Amino acid sequence: MSYLFRTRSEKATQQKPESSEEQQRKIEDVRELLGDLATETPSFLSDGTIRRFLRARNWSTEKAAKSLKEAIKWRRQFKPETICWDDLAGIENEVRRAYIPDYLDKNGRTVFVIVTSIKSLTSTKEHIQQLVYNLENMAMNSEDAQENVVWMCNFSGWTLSSTPLWEIVKQFLEPTLQDKIKFVYNNNAESQRIMADMFDMDKLESAFGGRNTAILDITKYAERMRRRDQIRITCKNTNRNT
């Protein structure tokens, strides 16, 4: 059994502006409300980030700005932009628990996989650092026009000892996420249809009904994440100097 986390763009009740020009006006309105904060963290406050916060708040500029101020306050304390691959502890086991695959879904969205049955071997602090590192990577490496992420959780072999991962992840999700969760099951025709509509089945892991039976190569994964780190750091330094 697995969870498929559906993205915010699929929620029918959202009050999305009809035109891209309207969206851009709202993005600029939020920047105005943020004042000097907009220039303090330019790499974080991209159009894509502000659009994500607007979407999460039904395109209310006031609510989005308030949430962004809280996020910036948290970022000042935690400094997620400074966390790099080589800073993470117990990385091989942790990556098998939570990782970013090298494929996108059919809509070009980044995918994040969580395997809840694998127990963490690191401390809670290190565990949180690993999750924040992944979230930062997904946020800062997504294309500006495709800022949504598909979250997939594999609950095969899940036990109560695996619960802490789920509890930590919930702290980073909106309360309305329950409306966007879809259960999918192996050997179920409707589940297979859902997954085939969203993914290239040759790339999708067999645990989620795909045909990819390859084991995650930690060495290649590490190389990919270090390249992503370089892009993030370059981007951050460029924005700081402009």
pLDDT tens across 184-230, in order?
887 788 988 999 999 999 999 998 989 999 999 999 999 999 998 98
Domain spanning 1-242, CATH class: alpha beta
Q: What is the phi/psi pair of residue 76, to 5°?
A: -60, -35
Residue 195's closest CA among 86, 185, 178?
185
Q: Which long-range contacts (CB under 8 A, 24 or more apart) does 8-17 make?
A: 8/52, 8/55, 8/56, 8/148, 8/174, 8/180, 9/55, 9/148, 10/180, 11/176, 11/179, 11/180, 14/55, 14/58, 14/59, 15/58, 15/59, 16/55, 16/59, 17/59
pLDDT confidence of residue 2: 46
pTM confidence score: 0.75
pLDDT confidence of residue 5: 45
